[in-house]
C-alpha cells in the first residue's frame, strides 16, 4: 500500500471506528478505555539513502535563511525530499509562550522559509502544527511562527480534541497513545526542533521534539524519559530533520526566559539521520552524544549513529 492509499484507508477506518464504537461494536485489537485503537502499520517517512551525499550538514551564517539553504543543499536539496502533490507536515517546537529571542521555540524565520521551499517544490499543502505545553494560541502567536508560516502560504493548525487518533505504537512506554492526526496522515514529515537545554534529559533536539505529536498525559513518560524519547523517534521517522541552532539555550530549559542563558550560534543542521543530528547539536551545549542518555540509547537501538562523522558530515561556514 502506498502512502496516499494508506492515508485514504486510515481516514475510512477512523470514520468506521467512530460509528461502530457508538453502536457498541468493537474491533479485534486491544481495547483502550472502551475504544479500540487504530493500528497504523507505518510511520516511516524517510527517503532512500544517497551514498554520494552526507547524511548531516551544518551551515553557519548570520543570515539564517542562507544557513538553511546551504545545509539543505548539502544533503541533496529540497527536491530530494518533496515531490509534486505531496502533503507535508512540519513539526517545529512551538511548546512555549516565549519570544524568538528567548530560544525556547524554533526560529520562526526558518519555519516560514522551509514551508516556502516545500510549496515551491510542488507540495500540495504544508501544515504546521504542534501540541504545546503552554496555551496553544499564545505559543503560536508569541513565537512568531504563526505569522511567518502563514506569510509563506502554509496552513497553521491549532490542535483540537477531535484531531487525535488513538494509536498502537508498540513500545514499552508508548504502547497505545493519542497522536495528533497530522503527524500520521501525511506524505512527508519534516522535524524542525530547536537545540536547547532540558532539565530532565539534559538536551532536547530532534528526537525529544516528538513529544509534541502526543496528546494525553505526557508527563508520565518522564519516568523513563530516555526510553520514551527513543520510542517516539522510532515511531516517527521523519523525511528530514532541521535543527535550529541559531540561538541555543544553555541553561534553564526547556522553558527558559532569560536572554543571558541564550548563546547566538547562527547555525542550522540538516540531516537524514536524526540521531547524528542530535549528537552534533548537543555539542553546542558543551556535551557529547555519549553524555546524553537518549542519544546513546538511540545509537544502541540502531535508530541512527551517535558518531555523526561516520555517516558523512559536512560543515559550511
DSSP H helices, 41-82, are 64-74, 78-81
Find cell 523513563 and name the residue. 224
pLDDT at 216: 85
Q: Where are the domains of the chain?
A: 1-39, 42-316
User: For 66, phi and psi rounded to 5 degrees?
Assistant: -65, -40
**Residues whose CB is less than 8 angstroms from the CB of residue 173 and which lie 6 or more positions away in sequence, other chains included:** 221, 223, 224, 227, 228, 231
pLDDT digits (tens, 9 = 90+) for 154-166: 999 999 999 999 9
pLDDT at 42: 61
40 confidence band (pLDDT: 50, 70, 90): low
Closest to 77 measured CA to CA, from 38, 121, 46: 121
Find cell 474491533 and name the residue. 27
- Distance between CA atoms of 172 and 263, rounded to whole angstroms? 36
Q: Which superfamily is assigned to 42-316 in CATH?
A: LarA, N-terminal domain (3.40.50.11440)
pLDDT digits (tens, 9 = 90+) for 269-293: 999 999 999 999 999 999 999 999 9
Q: For Cα atoms 250, 61, 207, give the angle at the middle one, nearest 5 degrees.
A: 45
**Residues whose CB is less than 8 angstroms from the CB of residue 225 and which lie 6 or more positions away in sequence, other chains included:** 200, 201, 293, 294
**pTM listed for this prediction:** 0.88
pLDDT digits (tens, 9 = 90+) for 54-68: 999 999 999 999 999
pLDDT digits (tens, 9 = 90+) for 98-141: 999 999 999 999 999 999 999 999 999 999 999 999 999 999 99
Amino acid at each position: 500500500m502506498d502512502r496516499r492509499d494508506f492515508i485514504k484507508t486510515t481516514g475510512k477506518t477512523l470514520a468506521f471506528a467512530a460509528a461502530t464504537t457508538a453502536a457498541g461494536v468493537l474491533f479485534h485489537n486491544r481495547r483502550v478505555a472502551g475504544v479500540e485503537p487504530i493500528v497504523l502499520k507505518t510511520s516511516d517517512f524517510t527517503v532512500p539513502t544517497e551514498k554520494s551525499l552526507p547524511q548531516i550538514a551544518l551551515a553557519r551564517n548570520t543570515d539564517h535563511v542562507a544557513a538553511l539553504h546551504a545545509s539543505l543543499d548539502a544533503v541533496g536539496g529540497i527536491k530530494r525530499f518533496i515531490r509534486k502533490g505531496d502533503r507535508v507536515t512540519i513539526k517545529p517546537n512551538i511548546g512555549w509562550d516565549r519570544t524568538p529571542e528567548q530560544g525556547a521555540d524554533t526560529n520562526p524565520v526558518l519555519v516560514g522559509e522551509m514551508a516556502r521551499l516545500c510549496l515551491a517544490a510542488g507540495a500540495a499543502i504544508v501544515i504546521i502544527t504542534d501540541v504545546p505545553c503552554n496555551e496553544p494560541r499564545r505559543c503560536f502567536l508569541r513565537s512568531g511562527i504563526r505569522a511567518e508560516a502563514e506569510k509563506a502560504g502554509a496552513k497553521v493548525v491549532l490542535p483540537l480534541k477531535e484531531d487525535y487518533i488513538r494509536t498502537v505504537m508498540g513500545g514499552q512506554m508508548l504502547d497505545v497513545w493519542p497522536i495528533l492526526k497530522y503527524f500520521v496522515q501525511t506524505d512527508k514529515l519534516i522535524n524542525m526542533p530547536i537545540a536547547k537545554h532540558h532539565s530532565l534529559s539534559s538536551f532536547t533536539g530532534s528526537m525529544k521534539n516528538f513529544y509534541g505529536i502526543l496528546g494525553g498525559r505526557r508527563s508520565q513518560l518522564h519516568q523513563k524519559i530516555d526510553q520514551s524519547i527513543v520510542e517516539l523517534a522510532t515511531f516517527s521517522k521523519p523525511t528530514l530533520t532541521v535543527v535550529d541552532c541559531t540561538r541555543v539555550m544553555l541553561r534553564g530549559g526547556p522553558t527558559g526566559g532569560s536572554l543571558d542563558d541564550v548563546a547566538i550560534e547562527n547555525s542550522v543542521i540538516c540531516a537524514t539521520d536524526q540521531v547524528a543530528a542530535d549528537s552534533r547539536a548537543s555539542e553546542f551545549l558543551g556535551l557529547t552524544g555519549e553524555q546524553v542518555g537518549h542519544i546513546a540509547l538511540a545509537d544502541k537501538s540502531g535508530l541512527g549513529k551517535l558518531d555523526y562523522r561516520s555517516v558523512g558530515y559536512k560543515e559550511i561556514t
